[in-house]
């Protein structure tokens, strides 16, 4: 289910944010094996738009991706 918080985010932006979050800022709720698996999945297995948005929604809900004036950003970079 697509969350209303993602309304102003393109799929490409969503995919890049998720990849950046998993590469450079490991979310507190995920382990390193899952990060490697996710990056492989996102880069090489062509996830659907809905799958990407579900991941972004989870990252927003956990506070790992935040809304800033210019759009969305990884929380650690927004500080």
CB burial of residue 26 (10 Å; 0-12, 13-18, 19+): middle
Please report whether residue 2 resides in a domain: no
Angle among Cα 32, 76, 79 to the nearest 5 degrees reads 170
> pTM value?
0.58
Number of structural domains (the chain) is 1
Encode pLDDT of 24-68 as tens digits: 665 555 655 666 677 777 777 777 877 777 777 777 777 777 777
Question: What residues make up the domain containing 66?
Answer: 9-78
Indicate whether 70 belongs to any domain: yes
Give domain status of residue 20, yes or no: yes
The reply to whether 4 falls in a domain is no
What's the pLDDT score for residue 19?
76
CATH code (residue 16): 1.10.10
Dihedral Cα 28, 45, 7, 31, nearest 10 deg: 0
Q: How many whole angstroms separate alpha carbon 61 and alpha carbon 23?
A: 18
Domain contains 1: no
């Amino acid at each position: 289910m697509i969350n209303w918080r993602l309304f102003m985010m393109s799929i490409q932006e969503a995919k890049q944010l998720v990849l950046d979050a998993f590469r450079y800022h490991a979310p507190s709720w995920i382990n390193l094996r899952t990060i490697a698996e996710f990056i492989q999945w996102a880069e090489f297995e062509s996830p659907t738009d809905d799958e990407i948005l579900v991941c972004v929604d989870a990252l927003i809900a956990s506070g790992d991706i935040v809304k800033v004036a210019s759009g969305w950003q990884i929380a650690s970079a927004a500080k």
